[in-house]
């Protein structure tokens, strides 16, 4: 080939790659991670980020794209303060709800039921636990001035988050103390690089090449999924993980505790199966103190506060992808995890909505995704939004023209 032919070939290849890059960016982009490291919260969402999620085929296979506003909340920009009533909803991946189109999320469905006068802010973040909400709440209340703050407690792994995150400990008097903790340096670097890629890593071609290589590697080096072989395996593995995490938590005497993976979540099997074990008793006590801190922070800002208790699908469903071997664990009680949070709310004067009775009455399998995705689905979020909007109106937790009085009257329980 002549020199001119080589140049023509090179120019053609470059043009082809540039065209492919543009097509990928427009038609089916792969986005940088929306999760960046944070000194206090471990992780926080990147403002203006986007994220794609593809449902499992058993759940429909749809591709969902989430968008985050300038404040790092999922959805559109926040309205001016004088627009009307404002509600903020805290939670983990169930509230961020990357698996649902925006109108189908719990926060948006709640807003549609409360009316145009009410704005509902989605403050959910994948992997968050109640400890992280407790750190965010005081500042958010001062800055955003919501009329009502809602915390969704996932009665599946939220107890364990308090151990894995290392944010709090109980002192000898059983009081909450802020620990010294940080993201492990390796995890901090990974999150920073994934959220803010540099150089060639910003290209769609590089992202797709990395994804293709990962698929090829997994194809030739398949990893056994320990949950597929036996529906009981997940619970056994969760129990072992919970016990090991508690031992490491107690043994950690470092000046600053490293958090290796802020997204690591397991079913709180120690509480569900062995409620008198040391790890279960400690996690229960820690959870109650965190809920009290949340309540007190809201009270200090004169903001009403409500807990929504979302049960684990393992507990709510009769036949789920993951299951508990009741014969092996005779102390198991499907009501325990959600019931413990309800009891804490009642003892401490916190209005609550326990979704377990409604989910069970309506065949709970209808309200969760399947195939190993243990989040609530669009129907579960819709049922919860309807029940909570009824509770808000009945207890007059918001003050706008559809309500007769701002006073909170009657029994705060709603089951």
How do residues 125-139 score in pLDDT, each as one tens digit? 999 999 999 999 999
Cα first-last separation, the chain: 79
DSSP string, 173-209: TS-EEE--EEE-HHHHHHHHHHHS--GGGGSHHHHHH
Confidence band (pLDDT; 50, 70, 90) for 93? very high
Q: Convert the pLDDT of each residue in 283-301 to its tens digit.
A: 999 999 999 999 999 999 9
Two tokens, residue 410: 């009657």
- Kindly report the pTM of this predicted structure: 0.90
pLDDT of residue 225: 53
In this predicted structure, the answer to whether residue 72 has a pLDDT above a threshold of 50 is yes
Q: Convert the pLDDT of each residue in 123-174 to its tens digit.
A: 999 999 999 999 999 999 999 999 999 999 999 999 999 999 999 999 999 9
Please tell me the least confidently modeled range out of 27-41, 90-104, 367-381: 27-41
Among 408, 32, 333, residue whose Cα is nearest residue 199 = 32
Confidence band (pLDDT; 50, 70, 90) for 402? very low
**Residue-range domain boundaries for the chain:** 33-184+224-414
Work out the percent of the chain whose per-residue pLDDT is above 90: 76
Residue 135, number of CB atoms within 10 A of its CB: 18
Please tell me the least confidently modeled range out of 23-32, 276-285, 332-341: 23-32
Helix residue ranges per DSSP H, 180-335:
185-195, 204-220, 233-251, 269-273, 278-300, 313-316
Whether the Cβ atoms of residue 350 and residue 284 lie closer than 8 Å to each other = no
Q: Given the DSSP bridges, would you call strands 181-183 and 176-178 parallel, antiparallel or unpaired?
A: unpaired
Q: Find the helix or strand (DSSP H, E) in which 352 lies.
A: strand 352-354
Whether the Cβ atoms of residue 21 and residue 205 lie closer than 8 Å to each other = yes
Please give the mean pLDDT across all residues of the chain.
Answer: 91
Mean pLDDT of 227-235: 78
- Could you please state the CATH topology (level 3) that the domain comprising 33-184+224-414 is classified under: Rossmann fold (3.40.50)
Q: Find the helix or strand (DSSP H, E) in which 133 lies.
A: helix 130-144
């Amino acid at each position: 080939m002549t020199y001119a032919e080589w140049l023509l070939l090179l120019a053609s290849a470059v043009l082809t790659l540039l065209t492919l890059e543009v097509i990928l960016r427009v038609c089916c982009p792969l986005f940088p991670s929306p999760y960046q490291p944070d000194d206090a919260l471990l992780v926080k969402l990147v403002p203006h980020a986007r994220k794609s999620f593809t449902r499992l085929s058993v759940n429909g296979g749809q591709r969902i794209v989430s968008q985050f506003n300038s404040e790092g909340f999922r959805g559109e920009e926040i309205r001016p303060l004088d627009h009307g009533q404002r509600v903020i909803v805290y939670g983990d991946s169930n509230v961020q709800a990357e698996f649902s189109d925006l109108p189908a999320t719990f926060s948006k469905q709640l807003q549609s039921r409360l009316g145009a006068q009410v704005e509902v802010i989605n403050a959910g973040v994948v992997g968050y636990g109640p400890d992280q909400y407790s750190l965010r709440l005081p500042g958010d209340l001062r800055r955003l001035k919501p009329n009502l703050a809602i915390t969704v407690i996932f009665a599946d792994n939220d107890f364990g988050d308090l151990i894995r995150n290392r944010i709090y400990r109980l002192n000898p008097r059983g009081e909450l103390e802020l620990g010294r903790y940080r993201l492990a340096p390796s995890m901090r670097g990974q999150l920073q690089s994934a959220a803010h890629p540099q150089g060639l890593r910003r290209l769609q071609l590089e992202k797709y090449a990395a994804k293709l290589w990962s698929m090829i590697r997994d194809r030739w080096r398949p990893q056994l999924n320990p949950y597929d072989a036996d529906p009981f395996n997940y619970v056994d593995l969760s129990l072992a993980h919970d016990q090991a995490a508690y031992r490491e938590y107690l043994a950690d005497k470092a000046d600053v505790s490293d958090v290796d993976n802020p997204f690591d979540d397991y079913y709180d099997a120690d509480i569900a199966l062995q409620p008198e074990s040391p790890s279960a008793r400690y996690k229960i006590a820690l959870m109650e103190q965190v809920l009290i801190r949340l309540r007190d922070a809201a009270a200090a800002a004169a903001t009403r506060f409500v807990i929504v208790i979302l049960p684990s699908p393992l507990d709510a469903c009769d036949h789920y992808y993951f299951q508990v071997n009741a014969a092996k664990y005779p102390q198991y009680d499907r009501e325990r995890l959600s019931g413990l949070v309800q009891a804490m709310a009642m003892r401490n004067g916190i209005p609550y909505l326990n979704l377990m009775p409604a989910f069970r009455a309506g065949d709970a399998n209808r309200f969760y995704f399947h195939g190993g995705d243990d989040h609530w689905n669009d129907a579960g979020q819709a049922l919860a939004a309807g029940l909570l909007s009824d509770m808000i109106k009945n207890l007059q937790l918001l003050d706008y023209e559809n309500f007769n009085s701002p006073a909170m009257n009657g029994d705060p329980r709603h089951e």
